[in-house]
Amino acid sequence: MELVTLTDAQKKSRRGRNIALGVVLFGLVAIFYIVTLIKFSNGMVQ
């Protein structure tokens, strides 16, 4: 089994990418939640 030790720069950049990915995933959840509410409310109005 091979493991890789990361340099400080790699750790820092990976942390930044993970945070950005987390923000994007949270944004997607929020988008689908709000869109579902909008679509449901439109359906109820119709």
Residues that bind another protein (CB under 8 A): 1-7, 9-10, 13-14, 16-17, 19-20, 31, 34-35, 38, 42
HSE (CB half, 13 Å, CA atoms) of 38? Answer: 6
CB of 33 to another protein, least distance (A): 11
DSSP state of 8: H
CB of 36 to another protein, least distance (A): 10
CB of 26 to another protein, least distance (A): 14
Q: What are the CA-CA distances from residue 3 to residues 6, 9 (Å)?
A: 10, 17
